[in-house]
Structure 1
Amino acid sequence: MIPADLNKPKRNKYVRFTSNVLRSGGIINDVLCFLLSFGLARLYYSWYWGYYLDVHLHVTAAIVMAINFFLIRISRDAYSALRGEGDDMGRGTLVDFLVAITLTAFTITQFGMIREFSIRFGLIFIGCSFIMLLLSRMMLRRLMWRMMRAGHIGQRVAIYGADREITGRVLELLEIERLPHINVIGFADDRKSRVDTAALDNVPYLGGFDSLLALAREGRLDQLIVALPHVRDDRLKEIVAQLSAGAIDVCIMPREFLILRDRYRVNYIGSLPVLNVWQQPMRDFDGVLKEFQDRVLALIALILLSPLLIATAIAIKIDSPGPLLFRQKRFGFNNLEIDVLKFRSMYVNKQDVSGAQRTRKGDPRVTRVGRFIRRFSIDELPQLINVLRGEMSIVGPRPHATEMRVGDSFYYDAVHGYAARHRVKPGITGLAQVRGLRGEIDTMDRAKKRVEYDIYYIENWSPLFDMRIILETCIKLVWDRHAY
C-alpha cells in the first residue's frame, strides 16, 4: 500500500544522476578557479611591477599546470567522492596541487624556458590558485547542500529490508554518512505475514514489490537498497530478477555493514574487492607529512613562545614550592603509556598522578597561578617537548590518564570503540576540544561524543584540517568556559 501523499502524481524534479552532476560541478569549479586565478595574477603583476610579460608562455604554463592537476585528480577518481559534503582542501587535493606544480616546473625547465618565465608571476598564480581552490570548495559545498535540500538535485531511495530492526539500521548508517542528496521515501517488504506497517522514524511503509515497481515506472523512485543480511541465494536471485523490471538502480547492502560497525572502505587486493573494517591511518607519505608538520610547528612554537614559557616558570616558582613540570602517565600511540609533560598547576601534596580524580570548577588543589594557566591552556605548552620527542602530535585525540574514569567505570571500559582513538599519536589539541568538549568530561554522553570526534578526525585527517583545528583552538582559548 503506497501512502496517500505518494499516490498523487508529481513532477519528477529530481536528477537521477546525482553523482555525475556533482562530479561535473567539482570539475567546473576547479576550471573556473584556474581561469580566475590567472586573470587576478596578471592584473596584480601588471599593476604592481608593470614589467613586460610573455603572455603566451605564461598562459601555456598555466594550462599545463591545470591539465596536470586534472589528470591526477581524474586518474584517482577524486571528483566522484564529492557528495555535497566536499573535502574542502583535504590531503588529496593538496598533494595533487603540489605534484602538478612540480611537474609543471620540471616541464618549463626541460624545455629551456625558465629564463623567460617570471618566477614572481608564477608564485602569484600559485598562491591565487591555492586560495581559490580552498575557498571555492567551501562555497561549493554550501551550494550543493542548498540545492539538494531544495530538491533541485537528489536521489529518491527506498529500502527493502527483512524487518524494522534492519531497516532502522540502514537509516542509522545513512544518517552517519550525512548525504543530503539521499531522500528516503519509504521502506518495503513483500512478505504476507507483515502486520506492522507503521512509519519508522517518519519513513513510511510502502508495501511490497508491486508498489515499488509502480513507483519506479511512474518516475518517483530512483534507487532501491536491498538489506537482507540472512537471505538465501535463491531468494536473493528472485528479488533481483523481479526488481530489474523497473528502471531504477538496485543495490545490495552487505551483511557486514548491518551487523558489525559503522564505517567501512571498499578496497582491492589486486582485482579482488574487500571490505576494510579498520585501516591504518596516516600511512606512507601522509605519515611522513604529519611527522614533518608536527616537528616544524613544535620547534617554531617553542621559539616564539619562549618568553611566555619563561614567565610562566618564574610565576610557578614564586606562587608555590615544588617542581616546574608535572609528569603523568597517559595512553599514547598503540595504547602504550607515555609521560606527558605539563606545567605544574596544583600544590605538590595535592596532585593526582593517576588521573582518577577529575579537576572540578573551584578545585582547591589548584594554585592561583594554576587557575590562570589552566584557563588558557598554558599548562599544556610543555607538551611541545613531547611532540619533538615523537611521542605526541600538535593535533590529535587528547591523551587520557591511565586511570581516568567516567562515572564509576574506567574511560576505556565505559565507551565502546575507545581503543580506536589510539591508532594515531595523541595531540596537544584536537577536534573534540574545539567542538565544545574541552575540560571536565562528567557524563557518559560527553565521553562518547569526544570519542566520536576523535575517530572522525582520524578517518578524515589532512594537513589543512590540522591547521583549521589549531586556528579554532586559538579562538576557543579566549571564549571557552569549560577549562578550569
Structure 2
Amino acid sequence: MHTVIRQTTGRDFADMESALARLLDVMLVALGAALASLLCLADPALSIVEASFVAFDMAFAILLLPWFGVYDSWRGRSTWRLSVRIVFGWIVVQACGVAVMFLLHRTASLSRLWCVTWTALTACALVASRLLVHAALGRMRRAGRNLRTVAVVGAGAHRDGVIAHIAGSPDAGFRAVATLNTWPDSEPDVAGLPAFRQLRELADWVRREQIDEVWIALPMSEEDTVLQVLAEFSGDLVNVRFLPDVRSLVMFDRHVVDLLGSPAINLMASPMTPYALLQKALFDRLFAVVALLALGPLMLSIAIAVKATSKGPVLFTQRRKGTDGRVFRIYKFRSMRAHAQQPGVVRQATRGDLRITRVGAFLRRTSLDELPQFFNVLRGEMSVVGPRPHAIEHDDQYRGLVDGYIHRYRIKPGITGWAQVNGFRGETDRIEKMQRRVEHDLYYLRNWSFGLDMRIVVATVVKGFLNRNAY
C-alpha cells in the first residue's frame, strides 16, 4: 500500500475562499440594509430596533447559510442552482430574523417597505457576488490557472465523451492529463494524452506528478476494474470519482441522490429537483392569481356568451391524469353542444365537427376555452407550463403504442407546453403525431429550466392563441 502526503495548498486555498465568502455575505447583508434605509427611510440612520434586526440576520447568515451548501466547492456545477440556493437560504435567514423580532414584540416598529427592499437588494447582491466570483475564476481557469488535473480510466465512447466534456468546459477548472485504456486490444488511445495500459504504471505516474483526481469512466458491468482502481489508490489523498456509463438505462438524468443514507442513481425518476419543484410551484400560484385577476372580466364575458348561445353548463369538466397518474377534474369553457358520450370512448374534435358551437369554435381556435384551467393551477393540480393532459381513455390507448408516453406524468400537466408552441396540438389522427408530441414533452422534462418556461409562456401569448391545428 502506498501512502502519499499531498500538498495542502489547494485545500488551504479552498478553506480561505470559503471563509472570505462567509465574510463577504455578512457584509452584503449589512450593506443591503444600509442601502435600503437610504432609499426608503426619511432618516437613513438605522434605529436601535432596525440595527438589532440587522445584527440578528448577520448572525443567522453565519449559522444557517452553510446548511444550504453555498460554501461548498461548486467547481463544474451549475451556477444557476447555486444562485437558487443562496436566495432560498437568505429568505430563510430573513424569516428567522423576523421571527425573533416578532417574539421581542418589535415588528410594529419596522418599516415594511424597508424590509422588502432590504430583502430584494441583499438577494441580488448575494447572487451578483457569486456570479462575479465564478466569472473571475472562469477567466483564471481559461488562462490555465486554478486547475485540477484529471487522469481518466476507461475506454470507448463514454471515456471519449468525458474527456470531450472536460475540454469543452474550461470554466469548470478541470484538465485531462492522462488516460488508462482498459480495452487496449479493441479501443484506440486518446490522441494528445499520455496513455497507460497498466494500472500500476498510471498510479505511479499520478503519485509522481501529484495529479489531483482520477475519474473512472466505465459501464457498471466493469465492477472488477473499479474495485482494482479503488484498491490501488486507497492509501492516496487523490479524489477518485466514478462516472458510470448508464446512457442506455437512464430515462431523464444521471443525478446521484442520497437515499436512506446510500448513494442512488436516478434511472427512471422525476427529473425535477426539490428546489426546481418549489420554484415552479411558487411561480404557478403567483401567475395563476395574477392571470385570474387580470382575465376575470374576459372570463365572465365568455361565460355569458357560452350560456346565452347554447344549452348546457358554462364549464366542461373531464377526468385527466396529473402528477404520478393521480386523477383530477380539468376545467374548460364548454365549446360543444350537449351530447351523449359512449362510456369509455372519447371522440376527438375534428375539422368541421358539427358538435362545436359557433362561440365554441372561436374559443377553441384562440385557446380561450383553456382559461378556467388557471383554477386547476391554483388548486395545485396543474402547472402553467408542462405536458398537456390527455383524456384517460387516450392514455390507456397510447401508453402501449408510443415510447415514453407514460413518463409525461412525471410532473404536473400544463395549460401550455413545449409541444404546443411547436405546433403539436389539436387532433392526433395518426400515431406519428402523438409520437412527435411525446418527444417534445420528454425534451421539456430533460431540459427544464425557469428560462424555458418563460420562453414557452411568451411563445404561447405571441403565437399560441392562433393556431391552425386548433378546432
TM-score normalised per structure 2: 0.68
Contact 2:83 2:130 (C-alpha < 8 Å) held by counterparts: yes
After superposition, residues 217-256 of structure 1 pair within 5 angstroms as 217-218=208-209, 221-228=211-218, 229-231=220-222, 236=226, 238-240=228-230, 242=232, 248-253=238-243
The offset of 1:411, in angstroms, is 5.7
Give the letter aligned to residue 196 of structure 1: E
- The answer to whether the 8 A contact 2:33-2:54 is kept is yes
Partner Cα distance (1:288, 1:251) in 2: 30
Q: 2:117 aligns with which of 101, 121, 124?
A: 124
Alignment of 1:387-426 (within 5 A): 387=377, 391-402=381-392, 410=398, 413-416=401-404, 418-426=405-413
How far, CA to CA, are the matches of 2:244 and 2:60 in structure 1?
A: 37
Shift of 1:149: 5.6
Residue 74 of structure 1 is aligned with which of 66, 81, 94? 66
Q: Which moved more, 1:181-190 or 1:279-288?
A: 279-288
Q: 1:249 to 1:333 in 2, by over 3 A?
A: closer
SS at match of 2:72: helix
In the alignment of these two chains, the number of paired residues is 440
In structure 2, C-alpha distance between the alignment counterparts of 1:446 and 1:128, rounded to whole Å: 42
Q: Distance in 1 between matches of 2:247 and 2:401?
A: 24
Structure-1 residue corresponding to 2:375: 385
**Match for residue 44 of structure 1?**
39
Q: CA deviation at 1:218?
A: 4.4
Contact residue 227 and residue 252 of structure 1 kept, 8 A:
yes
Q: 2:429 matched to which residue of 1? A: none
Contact preservation (8 Å) 2:149, 2:176: yes
| SS of 2:389 mapped into structure 1 | coil
Counterpart residue type for residue 391 of structure 1: E
When normalised by structure 1's length, the TM-score is: 0.67
Measured in 1, the distance between the counterparts of 2:26 and 2:14 equals: 19
Residue 401 to residue 109, structure 1, CA distance change in 2 (3 Å): closer
- 1:194 matched to 2:177? The reply is no
The correspondence of residues 58-457 of structure 1 with structure 2, limited to 5 A, is: 58-80=50-72, 82=74, 83-87=77-81, 90=84, 92-110=85-103, 120-133=113-126, 154-161=147-154, 163-164=155-156, 167=159, 181=172, 183=174, 185=176, 188-190=179-181, 193-197=184-188, 199=190, 206-208=195-197, 209=199, 210=201, 214=205, 217-218=208-209, 221-228=211-218, 229-231=220-222, 236=226, 238-240=228-230, 242=232, 248-253=238-243, 262-267=253-258, 269=260, 272-275=261-264, 277=266, 298=288, 301-314=291-304, 324-344=314-334, 363-365=351-353, 373=363, 377-387=367-377, 391-402=381-392, 410=398, 413-416=401-404, 418-429=405-416, 432=418, 439=425, 442=433, 444=435, 447-454=438-445, 457=448
Q: Distance in 2 between matches of 1:93 and 1:473?
A: 26
- 1:68: how far off? 0.9
Give, in angstroms, the shift of residue 285 of structure 1. Answer: 11
Query: Which residue identity does 1:194 align to in structure 2?
Result: D
- Say whether the 8 Å CA contact 2:269–2:410 is kept in structure 1: no
**Per-residue deviation at 1:239?**
3.2
Q: Match of 2:438, as an amino acid?
A: A
Alpha-carbon offset, residue 104 of structure 1: 1.8
Deviation at 1:381, TM superposition (A): 0.8
> Do the aligned partners of 1:298 and 1:388 also contact (CA within 8 Å) in 2?
yes
Between 364-373 and 102-111, the greater mean CA deviation after superposition: 364-373
SS at match of 2:79: coil
* 3-state SS of paired residue (1:226): strand
Deviations 1:363-405 (A, max 9, x none): 5558876676556542221112334555334454432344659
Q: Which amino acid aligns with 2:406?
A: A
The Cα offsets for residues 70-119 of structure 1, whole Å up to 9 and x where unpaired, read as: 421203434427424332653x5455333322322343455576676555
Structure 1 unmatched ranges of 5 or more? 1-14
Given that residues 184 and 203 in structure 1 are in contact (C-alpha distance below 8 angstroms), is that contact kept between their aligned partners in structure 2?
no
Question: What one-letter code is carried by the residue in structure 1 that aligns with 2:34?
Answer: G
| 5+ long unaligned stretches in structure 2 | 1-9, 427-431
Whose relative contact order is higher, 1 or 2, with alpha carbons under 8 Å and at least 6 apart? 1
- Indicate conservation of the 8 Å contact 1:157/1:224, yes or no: yes
- Distance between the aligned counterparts of 1:16 and 1:375, measured in 2? 62
The CA RMSD over aligned residues, in Å, is 5.3
CA positional deviation for 1:181: 1.1
* 1:424-450 residue CA offsets vs partner (Å, 9 max, x unmatched): 4323245x4698587479485663342
Distance 1:58 1:141 in 2: 33
Judging changes above 3 Å, is the alpha-carbon distance between structure 1 residues 181 and 193 closer, same or farther for their aligned structure 2 residues? closer
Cα offset for 1:253?
4.2
Structure 2 CA distance for aligned equivalents of residues 16 and 52 of structure 1: 42
- Structure 2 vs 1, CA of residues 297 and 255 (structure 1 numbering), >3 Å: closer, same or farther? closer
Q: Report the counterpart of residue 8 of structure 1 in structure 2.
A: none
CA contact (8 A) 2:79 2:131 kept: no
* Residues in 2 aligned to 1:190 and 1:483: alpha-carbon distance in whole angstroms: 54
* Change in 2 beyond 3 A, CA 1:153/1:60: farther
